[in-house]
Structure 1
Amino acid sequence: MHIRKAITADAEELCGLLNEIIRIGGTTAIETPVSFAEFADWFIDGEFALACHVAKHDQLLVGFQSLSLYGDPPPRYADIATFARVNPKIPGVGSALFPATRTAAEELGFEFINATIRADNVSGLAYYTKMGFEDYDRLSRVPLLDGTPVDRIKKRYRIGAARYD
């Protein structure tokens, strides 16, 4: 698996990857499909985007991980988002991406990386725990578009913490 910085030209393929995850539901707070332009703005080159890396396997982009300042995180915090292709599913995408994201956060001078995960996203919670993130807050009963309340777990990774790569 090859890890590199995302470029705007990746937006179309990555947008398809993300929109498939959105359509399946249950693992992301994003509930409506995004356009290529929205994708590029949110994750690659918009005002709040800080860094985005992609994982490539057999000429296919199989996942991406971004750092941003969306949602007005606390001072010294950057927000992380991780998405891996559902079909075909390639194991280890998130683990392969995290060292590059962690390095970007260090280089940008952040003290913490924040992950806000739906409480019903068991695999996402396990992934961030495996990477060394620790729970520090919980947002209770955040409604989905259909009104269903779902808690959000806030986990943080302290830059300079033990490394898992």
Structure 2
Amino acid sequence: MSIDLHAIEVRPAQLEDVPTLCAFFNELIRIGGTTAHETPFTLERFSTHFLDGPACVNCFVALDAGGRPCAFQGLERHDGLPAEWVDIGTFARPENKVSGAGTALFTASRVLAREKGFLAINATIRADNVGGLAYYSKMGFTDYKVDKAAPLKDGRLVDRISKRYLL
């Protein structure tokens, strides 16, 4: 599946994308505040988590006008969710963000989740991730649960807000 939305190409992530995606994902982890992940990923761990592991459903990548990955979105099964739900994570490179990449990614992910028979998509976002909360709200997700005071590695406590999108 390839979707062109305002010159943003979206396609399934491929093994050759892993070094670039992993590099900017690890930079997001280093910066902090926009992902629940706190430990950098190796290329192998990234690939298993987002592309070919047992929990993976799909991973789409958005390409900028130069054909370089600028964002990605993974769908995965999660033990804490109903069987007919899928979990989503969306990540954009920290510099030179491409406007509309998140919308293009979610368009593709939503279609695929429906095709695979899921009934809902879950997004769990740190309460201090204002941009992430705004993005999922803009995509049509609604709040349904708050996990209070989830501990981070450094001991800080941060609420996690779960939002759902009914398909």
Is the structural similarity TM-score above 0.5? yes
1:119 corresponds to? 127
User: Is 1:7 aligned with 2:8?
Assistant: no
User: Alpha-carbon deviation of 1:9?
Assistant: 2.0
Matches within 5 A, 1:7-26: 7-26=14-33
Which digits, 9 at most, give the CA deviation of each residue in 1:53-106, with x for residues without a partner?
Answer: 000111210000010013432221100000011112222221111011001100
Would you say the 8 A contact 1:116–1:155 is kept in 2?
A: yes
Instruction: Kindly provide the CA deviation profile for residues 109-146 of structure 1, in whole angstroms up to 9, marking residues without a partner as x.
Output: 00000000000000000000000000000100000001
Partner of residue 110 from structure 1, selected from 105, 115, 118:
118
Partner of residue 59 from structure 1, selected from 56, 60, 67: 67
Kindly, what percent of the aligned residue pairs are identical? 50
**What letter matches 1:56 in structure 2?**
L
Q: TM-score, normalised by structure 1?
A: 0.93
Is the 8 Å Cα contact of residues 8 and 45 (structure 1) preserved in structure 2?
no
How many residues align? The count is 159
| TM-aligned CA distance change 1:133 to 1:71, over 3 Å | same
d(CA) in 1 for partners of 2:67 and 2:138?
A: 27
**In the aligned structure 2, how far is the partner of 1:153 from the partner of 1:83?**
17
Give, in whole Å, the separation in 2 of the partners of 1:59 and 1:130. 26
Secondary structure in structure 1 of the residue aligned to 2:87: strand
* Deviant stretches of 4+, over 4 Å: none
Pairing 1:60-139 to 2, within 5 Å after superposition: 60-139=68-147
- Root-mean-square deviation (CA), in Å? 0.9
